[in-house]
Amino acid sequence: MRCTHCGANIPDDQMICPECGAEVQIVPDYNPLDDVLTREVRGSVEGATRQIQTGDIRRARRENITGNVNSTRVLSQGEMDRIREERRARMRRSGDPGRQNAPGRNTGSMRRSAAGGTGVINRSSTGNVGAVKRGTTGRISQDPDERRRTSEERRRQQQMKRREAAKKKRRNVLLFLFFLLVLIGVGIYVIYQNSYTGVVNRGYDALQTDDYEEAQSLFNRAITKDRSRSGAYTGLAQVYMDQDDLEGAESVFLTALETQPSNAELYQAAIAFYVDTEQQNKISSLLQDCEDETVLNAVSDYVSEAPQFSLEEGTYSEVQEVAISSETGGTIYYTTDGTDPTESSTEYTEPILLQDEGETEIRAIAVNANGIPSVVASGIYTIEFPIVDAPAVTPATGQYTEPTKITITVPEGYTAYYTMDGSTPTSDSEKYTGPIDMPQNTQTIFSAILVNDNNGKATDVTTRNYITRSE
């Protein structure tokens, strides 16, 4: 390749003349009108172009020609093919086949010879683009706006294709995800139906249709899966309750607690059963033997401690008082006739006085703030007042010639009664209040007893025989 300015040889891999520094600019032959131009130009432009002579170049330099100097150079068919191929390769790599010029480069005009098979490149010193000449009589040029519209149309078509491909890909992805979610949902449903919760729910569904046999089978199956959870026990108890078998329902929980005495959840379920069936009085019995602190803390609202008595059981010889208290507070109710107390019994407000001789049994319960009654606490007390000896009477039996006073010694808590006709005294006899004058000139049989002021019991009789005479 030769430079059109100075005629120096330009290596194929360079685009700037090494002698004069002129830039070699080539417009690729890729053009939508290429085939049309070829047919029109073939045979019409032969001889219409000429090779610029070296002398002309030298003369132009001598004359300092700096204007729009157009020059042409003839390229061989091999050079043209190589240039075309390189241009196509660059466009394929850039992905924009509709682009005619590289960014930032000026292009010259191109003339092509149809007869000689050579291309003529018309270049200007200012780098402006010329027109493609076709024939000797006219010049045909491609409109830049049309090229731009063609390129934009190609880009739009390519964008539409990419968008359609993206939409199709998204549809395929969404369809795949949909089927995947369906499979996951089916798997989860199957797993759930056979899980503990699923089996329990199926048991309740069977209860809704009064299919007790199926419900019982499902609840037992759930218990087999997990014995520690209470849901299946509650459902199984409901099967018995729906058939008016409260004892069977209660046995479901009691039997399970025998093997799981530390299962707080199971205790809570049993308590809920007693509350639902209005058997709160059994809750304290259920918790009475529980020694697990974790369980007791979990059901603390239902714990009601049994009352405690201030007086120990036993036999007492004096009047006693019994006070009752409860560690968990609440209201205390009691009885003294040996029957179990309820909330309708006597409410405890002050110590109980034991003043009657004999045996007395006190029974009491404490009802906490949640209305849970405790177990019954009881105490048995016996009062036996002591019996003193027969009363001491003075003077002793004998004969007296002087006036004498008869005296009875009365201990605290007793009252003395006497007779003077030999009969046995009772509490209806004459009450002793002080010394008695002994009758004169007669024989007197004096008898006396002591009666306990608390229980009315009388002592043995003391008898004296008095004879009085005057001197």
CATH number of the domain bearing residue 258? 1.25.40.10
C-alpha dist (Å) from residue 31 to 22, 28, 67, 152, 339: 26, 8, 29, 15, 119
Number of domains present in the structure of the chain: 4
Residue 184 lies in a domain: no
Burial label, 455 (beta-carbon count in 10 A; 0-12, 13-18, 19+): middle
DSSP 59-80: HHHHTT--S---EEEEEPHHHH
Q: What is the pLDDT of residues 157-181, one digit of tens each?
A: 888 988 899 999 999 999 898 988 8
pLDDT at 52 over 60: no
Is 57 part of a structural domain of the chain?
A: yes
Tokens of 20: 């004069």
- Which residue blocks in 209-324 are alpha helix, DSSP H? 212-225, 231-242, 246-259, 264-276, 283-288, 293-298
Q: Are residues 313 and 297 in the same domain?
A: no
Q: What's the whole-number mean pLDDT along residues 269-276?
A: 94
Q: Is 317 found in the same domain as 284?
A: no
Beta bridge partners, 416, equal: 450
* Higher per-residue confidence, 293 vs 46: 293
Are 43 and 105 contained in the same domain?
yes
Query: Per the domain annotation, does 351 fall within a domain?
Result: yes
* Residue 242 included in any domain: yes
Is residue 396 domain-shared with residue 379, that is, in the same domain?
A: no
Sequence-distant (6+) residues with CB within 8 A of 83 are 26, 28, 29, 75
Place of tokens 């010639």: 401
Position 291 scores a pLDDT of 87
Range of the domain at 372: 308-383
Residues in the chain: 471
The verdict on residue 353 lying in a domain is yes
Cβ distance 91 to 99 under 8 Å?
yes
Same domain, 202 and 276: yes
Provide the token pair at 51. 């090779």
Q: Which residues are within 8 A (CB) of 402 and not within 5 positions of it... i.e. 6 or more apart? A: none
- What pLDDT score does 282 carry? 92
- Position 155 in a domain: no
Model pLDDT, residue 62: 59
Residue 431 sits in a domain of what CATH number? 2.60.40.10
Residues 273 and 223 in one domain: yes
Q: Which of 383, 414, 434 is the last residue of a domain?
A: 383
Tens of pLDDT, residue by residue over 123-150, are 443 434 343 334 434 444 457 778 788 8
Indicate whether 423 and 375 sit together in one domain: no
138 in the same domain as 38: yes
Give pTM, 2 decimals: 0.49
Within its chain, how far is the Cα of 124 from the centroid? Answer: 83
Per-residue confidence (pLDDT) for residue 389, from 0 to 100? 84
Maximal C-alpha separation, the chain = 210
Last residue of a domain, one of 281, 302, 323: 302
Q: Say if CB 410 and CB 393 are below 8 A apart.
A: no
- Inter-axis angle of helices 246-259 and 231-242, nearest 10: 160
Choose from 7-16, 90-99, 220-229 the range with maximum mean pLDDT: 220-229
HEC per residue, 384-440? CCCCCCCCEEECCCEEECCCCEEEEECCCCEEEEEECECCCCCCCCEECCCCEECCC
Give the pairing of strands 462-468 and 398-400: parallel
> Which residue among 127, 142, 157 closes a domain?
142
Looking at the structure, tell me whether residues 374 and 450 fall in a common domain.
no
* Residue 223 CA, distance from chain mean position: 23
Distances (CA, A) of 363 to 89, 133, 287, 381: 111, 130, 20, 11
Residue 355 shares a structural domain with residue 397? no
Residue 262 lies in a domain: yes
